[in-house]
Structure 1
Amino acid sequence: MKNIFLLLILLLTVIVPVTNYTSSSVHTKTTKFVYVKTVPEWSKNLTIYEVNLRQYSSSGSFKDFEKHLPQLKELGVGILWFMPVQPIGVINRKGTLGSYYSVKDYLSVNPEFGTMEDFKQMVKKIHKSGIYVIIDWVANHTSWDNSLITEYPEFYTKDSTGKIISPVPDWTDVADLNYDNKELRRYMTIAMKFWLKETDIDGFRCDVAGFVPTDFWEEVRPALDSMKKVFMLAEWEDPKLHNKAFDMTYAWDFHNLITNIAKGSKSVLSFDTLFKIEKNKYSTDAYRMYFTSNHDENSWNGTAYEKFGKGVKTFAVLSFIVPGMPLIYSGQEAGLNKRLKFFDKDTIEWKKDDFFNLYKILIALKKRNKALWNGNYGGEMKILKTSVDEKVLAFTRIKDSDEVLAVFNFSDKPVTVIIINNLSIGTYKNVFTKQLQQLNKNTSFKMNPWGYLLLEKQ
């Protein structure tokens, strides 16, 4: 293993962007280049899709996943995030197949999914479909049978007796890594660069990013960007992660709020408070990821149908219209309504569902309408006062000549809505029916229970 480590260093050492260099001229001059993180321009209007490969097909293979690419291209998703593709540990394994997040070898692929060459070919086909690829990266811990434990025990966190420990008591299948060790940081950086060089992926979704020191992520980002411009997603919610390391973070506060609104334990008026806090905490170039489900929520806390009931489509639409990037989890476009097993085989049932066309319309809207683009590329959200604020959320987003009006009834009763202030009068097109509608200051909207209305100004 140590020889492999040395080989990787030789193969992947590149010029680190933050460096001093000397240029030859009449007078020798030293210039310092300071790295500045920027969000990849290509991500400005995209939707992200999480791939649970194990459950995607009966085989769970890269090759069988490729068969779904035409449908994903038709759907319009822009980024595919693959849950970890590396081999899974056997020691202390949970269930029959174990957790994706118990990584046995950072530098190879899970043989249950295929070979490294299979993965590379799949990435090429995804890129040919006009879609970007990021993979899950588990930097915080490894499986107990990862060879690093025997080769580099100093990489791990130990208790007072010198015993390697888990990061969380319940995570018995993994061993915690200690980022006080500089060689660990070097190894992890080289391993991440390996995947960029060898497979041409476009970035990483970093598991429990807040468990790893922020300064490590700030070290690794310029090293990755020196190879290609990457997209970095943190499984965490902290504004400082956006400063020098990550492009997007999880909008957990939003997800918790919509869950509580669906249960009736929070008021619709809470949206105004939440988005004021978001605006104050996060810079305009910080992407926030909005979702009604993901692998953790689905397996441990319930499906989107369980959590949102008759409002499941309403909250899904909302996640596409608020400022940020929406996430679709594997199977949601097929009406997934079962909790997928996390440690065992549990194949998704693929069927035709209304959600496919709903997502397809929303993704196309996001791509074409600048008001809904991500970060600085998109328009600011302005919440409008209505005649029924305790039940209805209405807001506009405007960017250049593009404008969207969104109205949501988050109640189980029909309501008639009047926008009291700041309604931009003019002609609008209904995103779903394509019908034109003339709005004026006296316009009212009749909303069904859990109804939603999206209008594009013409």
Structure 2
Amino acid sequence: MAKQTNLDLRNKTIYQVFVRQHSKTHDFLGLISDLDRIKKLGVDIIYLLPFHPIGKKDRKGSVGSPYAIYDYFEIDPLNGTLDDFKLLCQETHQRGMKIMMDIVFNHTSRDSVLTQEKPDWFYKKPDGSFANRIGDWSDITDLDMSKKEIWTYLVDVLKYWAQYVDGFRCDVAPLLPIDFWIQARKELDLLRPDLIWLTESVEYGFIKYLRDIGYDASTDSMMYDAFDIAYDYDIFSFMDGYLNGKNDLSRYLYELWRQEVVYPKNYVKLRSFENHDQERIAKKVNHPEKLKMMTAFQFFLKGTPMIYAGQEHQVMNRPDLFEIDPIPWNPSSSIEPLIQKLTRIKKHRLMKSGVYNYIETNQIAIIEYKDSSDQLLGIFNLESLDGCKIDLPNGLYQNLLSSNQYEVKDSYIKLGHEPIILHIELK
């Protein structure tokens, strides 16, 4: 991993925003009006999906994908003006939060400024038409990163936006040469050494597919040479597999533990159960009590949790990527009080530097952080069992997430239907 990675990132919470779907006005100003509520959740970093103009050629839907970018240096008028964006950054900073933006360097729209001005920078079919490596991404065309002049241009894009933002989430970054990202990080560190670098990982199957057809794709271990945080797509299928019955909970917990040894000691993982590419966790779980349990579990995992706007209201529909499809906010289903408690607990020093382990038990997720003086213990009864064995002295223990106390007697604890987080002072 980048040696300068700040491990305080393990104590931070990210909030992902699709600007055009977030408010009734579909723009930066609408998001500004929601900043106080977002801050109250305990959010540290707001991350925006791409907000650039969208190409028209082969556009998907009537509005198009924000990932089919026409011009890296401009803002889609639907989202607002540059002055509106500057105001959003200013208002975010005034509330003590940071702001990140999505960077999409693998491809542009098929009619982008670059396809017109630098057509030789792109992959081509034998007939000379623009091409891309992924068949179903028909609204975009891939940049040919073997051309080093492209590297200079893209680093200039990063330098431009680094005037305003505090970090970059880099779309399908493993599909670009890792040497490009290392160079970009090195150059940007001279201007903004405090920038946060988040790479979207890709699933193992996708990496193998690309390699099988002759392209390169980097694993998370490689991406940590340039980035601070990586998605948890390396184990996402095991979380999904648990929810849909393809594997049991213990397999998912083992994969979480395995990350402790396959990545650098100072690794930071993004803990996200939903995003613009993945179905809502509320749709997958579809049970309010288990959803609260999963939410608490998400925040208690080692790394940086990310909320996709709407998750805090148990929204089940994922906003359309190609149309105007506002989030159906539902305050009556709010779990914001739970998230507020979780973001506070996330700030505990053990969540950053404590020894992290999962405790094997019968289909109950038990995670601990520990040092010589303190222990944080999370018990997540995802299968609604009556109780479980636990290595704690007899006594009553206060749940940090509620007013309830839990008794441990003869190394056994009875469980209910709420997530439990205990703080234990060690003698």
Q: TM-score, normalised by structure 1?
A: 0.84
Classify 1:144/1:90 alpha carbon distance in 2 versus 1 (closer, same or farther; 3 Å).
Answer: same
Partner in structure 2 of residue 362 of structure 1: 342
Partner in structure 2 of residue 307 of structure 1: 284
Classify 1:254/1:456 alpha carbon distance in 2 versus 1 (closer, same or farther; 3 Å).
Answer: farther
Structure-to-structure mapping, 1:12-411, within 5 angstroms: 37-40=3-6, 43-197=9-163, 199=164, 201-228=165-192, 229-236=194-201, 238-298=219-279, 303-310=280-287, 311-352=290-331, 353-367=333-347, 369-373=348-352, 378-386=353-361, 389=362, 391-399=363-371, 401-411=373-383
Classify 1:392/1:145 alpha carbon distance in 2 versus 1 (closer, same or farther; 3 Å).
Answer: same
Classify 1:205/1:309 alpha carbon distance in 2 versus 1 (closer, same or farther; 3 Å).
Answer: same
Tell me how large the CA RMSD over aligned residues is: 2.1
Partner in structure 1 of residue 423 of structure 2: 456
Higher RCO, 1 vs 2 (CA within 8 Å, ≥6 residues apart): 2
Instruction: Name the % identity.
Output: 29
Contact 1:242 1:248 in 2 (8 A): no
The one-letter code of the counterpart of 2:283 is E
CA distance in 2, matches of 1:146, 1:398: 52
The one-letter code of the counterpart of 2:358 is I
Classify 1:392/1:44 alpha carbon distance in 2 versus 1 (closer, same or farther; 3 Å).
Answer: closer
Classify 1:408/1:71 alpha carbon distance in 2 versus 1 (closer, same or farther; 3 Å).
Answer: same
Q: Structure 2 unaligned segments of length 5 or more: list them.
A: 203-218
The one-letter code of the counterpart of 1:204 is F
Query: How big is each residue's C-alpha offset from its partner over 1:358-412, in whole Å with a ceiling of 9 and x where there is no partner?
Result: 1111001111x11223xxxx323222244xx2x212231124644211112222x
Partner in structure 2 of residue 18 of structure 1: none
Query: How big is each residue's C-alpha offset from its partner over 1:326-364, in whole Å with a ceiling of 9 and x where there is no partner?
Result: 110011112212232221111112232341111111001
Partner in structure 1 of residue 387 of structure 2: 416
Partner in structure 2 of residue 11 of structure 1: none
Question: Structure 1 segments of 4 or more deviating over 6 A?
Answer: 424-427
Correspondent of 1:430 among 388, 396, 399: 399
Partner in structure 1 of residue 216 of structure 2: none
Contact 2:9 2:304 in 1 (8 A): no
Contact 2:9 2:303 in 1 (8 A): no
CA distance in 1, matches of 2:323, 2:400: 40
CA distance in 1, matches of 2:296, 2:327: 23
The one-letter code of the counterpart of 2:376 is V
Q: Structure 1 unaligned segments of length 5 or more: list them.
A: 1-34
Structure 2 residue matching 1:269: 3-state secondary structure: helix
Shift of 1:44: 4.2
Shift of 1:242: 4.2
Shift of 1:38: 1.3
Shift of 1:40: 3.4
Shift of 1:265: 2.3
Total equivalences in the alignment: 405
CA distance in 2, matches of 1:425, 1:280: 33
Which stretch has the larger CA shift, 257-266 or 78-87? 257-266
Contact 1:396 1:406 in 2 (8 A): yes
